[in-house]
Amino acid sequence: MNLYGTSTISENGHLTIGGVDTVQLAKKFGTALYVYDVSMIREKARAFRSAFEREELNYQVAYASKAFSCVAMIQLAEEEGLSLDVVSGGELYTALQAGFPVDRIHFHGNNKSEAEIRMALDAEIGCFVVDNFYELTLLEQLAEEKGVRANVLLRITPGIEAHTHDYILTGQEDSKFGFDLQSGQVEKAIQSANGMNQVHLLGLHCHIGSQIFETTGFVMAIEKIYSYLSKWYESFGFQPEVLNLGGGFGIRYTSDDEPLPVENYINAMIKTVKSQMTAGMRMPEIWIEPGRSLVGEAGITLYTVGSHKQVPELRNYLAVDGGMSDNLRPALYQAKYEATIANRMYEPSDHLYSVAGKCCESGDMLIWDCELQRAIAGDTMAVFSTGAYGYSMANNYNRLPRPAVVFVENGEVSLVVRRESYEDLIRHDMPLKQAIISK
Ligand SMILES: *Cc1c(COP(=O)(O)O)cnc(C)c1O
């Protein structure tokens, strides 16, 4: 078992994180419980930023808040000098309520509603990452109504998809996101945007995938983009002020994952851009959008062990008091995780279990094969690397209230999201007889 971040083992064999005993956290706040190692998030943010600082160029590191959004997290991103990506009115609202500097908010999404665009224009956010022609026209109209000018990046699909260890050259991209490069859509979008009074075209954006463990995909995407950029520079003098290269930097979910240091990605990106620029072109600002790599490894989920079922010679099920309601990724993507019994850290992990959730689905399995200490009901289980897309995908399936979230740092504990109550679950429900609103 490899511990990371600030995790250690206390004298009595308990897992600690941020100087705090996880077994006590479970007792105090109940389970399931999300726990974040704040200093680890800070460390990641600083690693990304210092990789750019060393290169002395203009940059933004935008936290993709869909990975984990709540007011305290947005404020932490602000403290660390990050920018912020939002993909919905709800994420934007959270950012505004957190007091995040609006000029560093970037608005993503392939189907922003009129109301969402108006909300973002009213808030005077930093830029819109425009996904399609419909949005470009709508944005121009709404900005004109308000008499403002909107900064825009065009999201492009460069025809390179990176998945962990392989790259798919798709040519014409079959994706719901972005303007296609190959078919000429990007050039057309640039020309349209340049002709609009209420739109200021800042540059281009691409995001090639997630859980990427090599620099090759980014290098290929940049080369592809510049093969077009140099043509457009020559033919109509276009060059981007900003090149946003997206997120997707890989993290360690299990010991099979070997992520690169973040500076490797940044260095490769900058080097490739520099090598691809043709004479006369200026260096664009480089923006990136890490989500999981900022928060994923910093989060763990604590559960209480409950029932145990042995299927003779087949499987040893150990059930916990959560599951696909607080971590959808195993059911959604067959995502893999590792765990430990947090109150038995000095005991050998010599039992093979399958860790089951408590939801009414056979597919609600958190970990299919997991070597753990011998566990009994009442033990505290910690599942690692659940900080990204855990809380943010949490749901109320089976009417399970969503768990609380705590931050720990230097022995301090902050409750940043309260646990939902049963009353919360029926807050918007109307009794049958009162539900009739017209006859
Ligand atoms: C999801 C997403 C990200 C963040 O991806 P991670 O894998 O969490 O780093 C960044 N940019 C865009 C456009 C995304 O859709």
CATH number of residue 192's parent domain? 3.20.20.10
Same domain, 277 and 337: no
Q: Which of 173-187, 239-253, 261-275 has the lowest mean pLDDT?
A: 173-187
* pTM of the predicted protein model: 0.96
Q: Which 3-state string (H, E, C) describes the chain? A: CCCCCCCEECCCCCEEECCEEHHHHHHHHCCCEEEEEHHHHHHHHHHHHHHHHCCCCCEEEEEEHHHCCCHHHHHHHHHCCCEEEECCHHHHHHHHHCCCCHHHEEECCCCCCHHHHHHHHHHCCCEEEECCHHHHHHHHHHHHHHCCCEEEEEEEECCEEEECCEEEECCCCCCCCCEECCCCHHHHHHHHHHCCCCEEEEEEECCCEECECCCHHHHHHHHHHHHHHHHHHHHHCCCCCEEECCCCECCCCCCCCCCCCHHHHHHHHHHHHHHHCCCCCCCCEEEECCCHHHHCCCEEEEEEEEEEEEECCCEEEEEECCCCCCCCHHHHHCCCCCEEECCCCCCCCCEEEEEECCCCCCCCEEEEEEEECCCCCCCEEEECCCCCCCHHHCCCHHHCCCCEEEEEECCEEEEEECCCCHHHHCCCCCCHHHCCCCC
Q: Is residue 433 part of a domain?
A: no
Cis omega (within 30 of 0) on the bond before 77?
A: no
**Residue 3 pLDDT level (bands cut at 50, 70, 90):** confident
Q: How far is the CA of 291 from the centre of ligand 1 (A)?
A: 6
Residue 388 to residue 253: CA distance in whole angstroms: 11
**Taking the mean position of all CA atoms in its chain, how far away is CA 134?**
26
Q: How far is the CA of 160 from the centre of ligand 1 (A)?
A: 15
Tell me: is residue 291 an annotated ligand-binding position: yes
Same domain, 312 and 272: no
* Ligand 1 pocket, residues with Cβ under 6 angstroms: 64, 66-67, 108, 207, 210, 246-249, 289-293, 388
What average pLDDT does this structure show over 233-243?
96
Same domain, 288 and 323: no
**Residue 176 pLDDT level (bands cut at 50, 70, 90):** confident
pLDDT at 420: 98
Tell me: is residue 361 an annotated ligand-binding position: yes
| Closest residue CA from atom 10 of ligand 1 | 247
Q: Is residue 122 part of a domain?
A: yes
| DSSP bridge partners of 9 | 15
In total, how many domains does the chain have?
A: 2
**Residue 284 pLDDT level (bands cut at 50, 70, 90):** very high
Same domain, 204 and 126: yes
Q: Is residue 313 part of a domain?
A: yes
Q: Is residue 431 part of a domain?
A: no
How far the first Cα of the chain sits from its last, in Å, is 63
Q: Is residue 195 part of a domain?
A: yes
| pLDDT tens-digit readout, 52-62 | 999 989 999 99
Which ligand 1 atom lies nearest to the CA of residue 87?
Answer: 15
Q: Is residue 430 part of a domain?
A: no
The CA angle 75-81-84, to the nearest 5 degrees, is: 65
Same domain, 12 and 74: no
Same domain, 277 and 308: no
Which of 266, 292, 318 is the last residue in one of the domains? 292
Active site (catalytic) residues: 360
* Substitution site in 44, 63, 66 for ligand 1 pocket (most atoms within 8 Å of beta carbon): 66
Q: How far is the CA of 248 from the centre of ligand 1 (A)?
A: 6
Tell me: is residue 237 an annotated ligand-binding position: no
Q: Are strands 380-383 and 339-341 parallel, antiparallel or unpaired?
A: antiparallel
Tell me: is residue 248 an annotated ligand-binding position: yes
* Substitution site in 207, 243, 262 for ligand 1 pocket (most atoms within 8 Å of beta carbon): 207
| Closest residue CA from atom 15 of ligand 1 | 207
Which ligand 1 atom lies nearest to the CA of residue 66?
Answer: 1
- How many CB atoms sit inside 10 A of residue 313's CB? 5
Same domain, 222 and 324: no
Same domain, 364 and 224: no
Which of 257, 292, 327 is the last residue in one of the domains? 292
For 391, the domain range is 8-30+298-425
Same domain, 198 and 283: yes
Query: Token match 């900022």: residue?
Result: 294
What CATH number has the domain bearing residue 22? 2.40.37.10
What average pLDDT does this structure show over 125-138?
98
| pLDDT tens-digit readout, 289-310 | 999 999 999 999 999 999 999 9
Q: How far is the CA of 63 from the centre of ligand 1 (A)?
A: 9
* Substitution site in 289, 292, 295, 332 for ligand 1 pocket (most atoms within 8 Å of beta carbon): 289
Which ligand 1 atom lies nearest to the CA of residue 289?
Answer: 10
Q: How far is the CA of 131 from the centre of ligand 1 (A)?
A: 15
Tell me: is residue 289 an annotated ligand-binding position: yes
**Residue 2 pLDDT level (bands cut at 50, 70, 90):** low
Same domain, 288 and 303: no
Q: Is residue 437 part of a domain?
A: no
| Closest residue CA from atom 3 of ligand 1 | 247
Which of 233, 257, 292 is the last residue in one of the domains? 292
Report which of 273, 294, 214 is spatially closest to residue 46, judged by C-alpha positions.
294
- Percent of the chain past pLDDT 90, that is, above it, reads 91
Same domain, 14 and 80: no
pLDDT at 5: 81
When the pLDDT of each residue in the chain is averaged and rounded to a whole number, the result is 95
What average pLDDT does this structure show over 17-41?
98
Q: How far is the CA of 234 from the centre of ligand 1 (A)?
A: 32
What average pLDDT does this structure show over 338-362?
97
Tell me: is residue 290 an annotated ligand-binding position: yes
**Taking the mean position of all CA atoms in its chain, how far away is CA 284?**
25
Report which of 41, 44, 120, 63 is spatially closest to residue 287, judged by C-alpha positions.
63
pLDDT at 4: 75
Same domain, 62 and 191: yes
| DSSP bridge partners of 309 | 317
Q: Is residue 3 part of a domain?
A: no
- Percent of the chain past pLDDT 70, that is, above it, reads 97
Evaluate whether 143 touches 150 at the Cβ level (below 8 Å): yes
